[in-house]
Structure 1
Amino acid sequence: MERGELEALLSPRVLTAVDAEARPETPADVLARSTALRREGFSPEESAAILTQAALRRRARAKFGEFADRMLFTRAGLEQATRLEAAARHAARFRDSGAALVADLGCGLGGDALAMAALGLRVLAVERDEVTAVLAQYNLAPFPEATVRVEDAEAVDLDGVDAVWLDPARRTAGHDGTRRVAAADYSPSLAFADEVAARRPTGVKLSPAHDREAIPEDAEAQWVSDRGDVVELALWRGGLQRDGVRRAALVLGPVGAAELTAPADAEDEPVGPLGDHVHEPDGAVIRARLLGDVARTTGTHPVGPGIAYLSGDGPAASPFLTSFAVDAVLPFDRQRIRKELRARGIGRLEIKKRGVDLDPARFRKELGLSGDGEAVLVVTRTADRRVALLCRR
């Protein structure tokens, strides 16, 4: 967002229109509303600002719930913003540590600062991008405990600050969690984060794909997933880490939260035979390398060497696993799989894979699906072969 767009957005007339605007759902809605806004006397820039914020608020509800309806966003800022439930847990950790004033260095649109202020903490929110800082100030306006400052995070005077939260921006692609992210990819730098952690209790939000070899030995590393999507790695140091915890997987879902903790990476269980169920671990458990602990507590075992699917007889009552009943164990042969699916009338097929080079979308087309039935196909490796497991959730 450029300064001119910001100025157009922040006029009282436009802000009132943003609050009144329904969230457009289709391109036709956008076109119709743009025309209507022009007729009401809004300029093209103002109309664009109103409709953009309406669309972003609609998207932001997944992260901020009802809070989104009074916030302002940029596309990039919303993508990077911490989800409200995760931010609330960050804030609770600072509160429980006894901190009174927390510096949020690299506050972005203010999601974490909002959660901290809502718990009664005083917050110094620092953002070096002036436009983003103005939006953060607007978002934090209901909380007098929060102060927003335009400044480079590495230049902030921390005198009087009890604890620090850092959410470094990623310099390069990879924050979607699919590519390993190195220390050099962040700004402020992780060297700066190390310096801060030596002086203050510190939490740092990183990509879930952060290089594990770069995790400090004294840090509690907590991977967080939200409804199956691994969204962050939080490193806690300087007294914010829990005693005896160096690895944690926090799973947030529609019915609550569950967490698995350990003093170190868990040792894997030996590979075992395929049972009548196969279980898919939550991504946070895999990232935290706690699969062995889940296997031991559920009486399951890996289906193959280095494969993050577990198997056993019966469903697993665990918040860290999704269970599938196995209806057929097939060789990984397209003709055989196609024949089995047609015989069962499977027209809707979800394809999952681990340890096998396969493009699920292309493979689905090759199968020529037809029928009213639905199933899940798990393609993977056992100790001695590639298999396709035809399953039901």
Structure 2
Amino acid sequence: MDLDAFHWLLTDDGQALLATATALVAGGDDELAVQTALRRTATPDRVAAALTQVTLRRRAEAKLGERAALLYFTPDGLEQATRAAVARHRAGRLTAFATRTLVDLGCGIGGDLLAAAEAGITCVGIDLDPVRVAVAGANLAALGLPGAVSVADATRIDTSPFDVAFADPARRSGAGRTWSPDAWTPPWTFVERLLARDACVKVAPGIPHDLVPEGVEAEWVSDRGEVKEAALWSGSLASTRRRATVIGDGGLATLTEDDDPGAAHVGVRDVGGYLYEPDGAVIRAGLVTAVAAAVGGGLVDEHIAYVTSDDSSRTPFARGYRVLEELPYREKQLRAALRERGVGTLTIKKRGVDVVPEQLRKRLALTGAAEATIVLTRVAGRGAAYLVEPL
């Protein structure tokens, strides 16, 4: 996005063009008709800037909800921006630790900056990209929040005046998304130095456990069943080694390694009357055995993240299923069993087996009127199939 075009978009004339573009798109006009109408009063680059914001605001609703209609975005900034519920959780943790001041190193479009400012924390956002800085500043203003933003190199900032330093390293290179921490911007070496003080660093959920420095808490966060990120908490902000936090319609729940008795105390057992599928954050945090202990059960296999129990339990950390019966695992016999039961609509849950649900569903070619859910997994090293119903 062109910086001059974005600054113009914040003027009265720019806001009028943006409002018109929003109305035309909402009215269902096709793209060519919208562009033609807007170019009667604005130059092509300004029209492009307005339409970019309309498109990105609509796309941002999934992450940020209704407030997306008030905010500004860049394509890469929106992709990296933290979901609103996750950002509010992080700001809540910061306030719980009496954080008064925060420096956001690599603030992007300001997703975490906004949440921290709303929580009453005095915030300063730093980013190398002048466009992202302008967008972050506009977003603070759009919500009437205090805070400062500045174009600067995060690696050269003295963070000592601030209670907490927050960083969200960019995990994209010219070739696309990168999984190597050394290719992050700023790189992993910077992250390690930052974690020597009170800090929080947002990282990819696939971060290896052995990469987390000693004394640093790794928290994996899911939002309504989807693992969104991991965060590393250091210094006085760290309260455990591993944590899984689950955000759902019922609120927030958290599980730590202090709740985990370990595999030796849980063990592998025969499948009972109930199966539990741990949340992805629990799996990433390595806390499956904590869920097993909580539901009074065990593992179906030492390498598979399914838990089984004889009891029905409600837990925010796993989805539960009542086991109706065991079915044949081999495809031909499985097809016959499902057809015998009149199944036509099939949900396939799988873990630890080489099965692509969409392809298997097509090959089964079921045509019955009944709906069913099956679980395909390994039990004590062998393939197994179960007909289940969600709790």
Same fold (TM over 0.5): yes
The residue number in structure 1 matching 2:124 is 124
Quick check: 151-160 or 280-289, which moved more? 151-160
The residue number in structure 2 matching 1:251 is 246
The residue number in structure 2 matching 1:196 is 194
- 1:128-167 correspondence runs (5 A): 128-141=128-141, 142-143=143-144, 145-167=146-168
Please say if residues 274 and 311 of structure 1, whose CA atoms lie closer than 8 Å, have aligned partners that are also in contact: yes
1:290–1:50 Cα change, 3 Å:
same
The yes-or-no answer on 1:387 pairing with 2:348 is no
Residue in structure 1 matching 2:185, options 183, 187, 196: 187
Q: For residue 92 of structure 1, report the CA deviation from its aligned partner.
A: 2.4
1:213 and 1:132 map into 2 onto residues whose CA distance is 33
Please say if residues 183 and 211 of structure 1, whose CA atoms lie closer than 8 Å, have aligned partners that are also in contact: no
Counterpart of 2:249 in structure 1: which amino acid?
P
1:224–1:336 Cα change, 3 Å:
same
The yes-or-no answer on 1:83 pairing with 2:80 is no
Please say if residues 182 and 211 of structure 1, whose CA atoms lie closer than 8 Å, have aligned partners that are also in contact: no
2:123 and 2:94 map into 1 onto residues whose CA distance is 11
2:175 and 2:241 map into 1 onto residues whose CA distance is 24
Counterpart of 1:212 in structure 2: which amino acid?
H
Counterpart of 1:257 in structure 2: which amino acid?
L
Please say if residues 296 and 311 of structure 2, whose CA atoms lie closer than 8 Å, have aligned partners that are also in contact: no
Residue in structure 2 matching 1:288, options 285, 288, 312: 285
1:370–1:47 Cα change, 3 Å:
farther
SS of 1:304's partner is: coil
SS of 1:357's partner is: coil
Please say if residues 291 and 307 of structure 2, whose CA atoms lie closer than 8 Å, have aligned partners that are also in contact: no
Gaps of 5+ in 1: none
1:328 and 1:22 map into 2 onto residues whose CA distance is 55
Q: For residue 36 of structure 1, report the CA deviation from its aligned partner.
A: 6.5
1:321 and 1:261 map into 2 onto residues whose CA distance is 15
Q: Deviations over 1:34-89 (max 9, x none)?
A: 25734763444444433332232222222222321210112221111111121122
Q: For residue 219 of structure 1, report the CA deviation from its aligned partner.
A: 0.7
1:69 and 1:338 map into 2 onto residues whose CA distance is 48
1:371 and 1:23 map into 2 onto residues whose CA distance is 45
Please say if residues 124 and 147 of structure 1, whose CA atoms lie closer than 8 Å, have aligned partners that are also in contact: yes
1:69–1:266 Cα change, 3 Å:
farther
Q: May I ask how many residue pairs the two structures share in their alignment?
A: 386
Quick check: 7-16 or 186-195, which moved more? 7-16
Counterpart of 2:218 in structure 1: which amino acid?
A
1:16–1:275 Cα change, 3 Å:
farther
Give RMSD over aligned pairs.
2.6
The residue number in structure 1 matching 2:61 is 61
1:221 and 1:32 map into 2 onto residues whose CA distance is 48
Gaps of 5+ in 2: none
Please say if residues 266 and 289 of structure 1, whose CA atoms lie closer than 8 Å, have aligned partners that are also in contact: no
Q: For residue 173 of structure 1, report the CA deviation from its aligned partner.
A: 10
SS of 1:392's partner is: strand
SS of 1:217's partner is: coil
Quick check: 188-197 or 28-37, which moved more? 28-37
Q: Deviations over 1:147-204 (max 9, x none)?
A: 001111101133522210011111459999xx9x443132212222222332x31001
Counterpart of 1:335 in structure 2: which amino acid?
K
TM-score of the aligned structures, taking structure 2 as reference length: 0.90
2:311 and 2:269 map into 1 onto residues whose CA distance is 15
TM-score of the aligned structures, taking structure 1 as reference length: 0.90
Q: For residue 381 of structure 1, report the CA deviation from its aligned partner.
A: 0.5
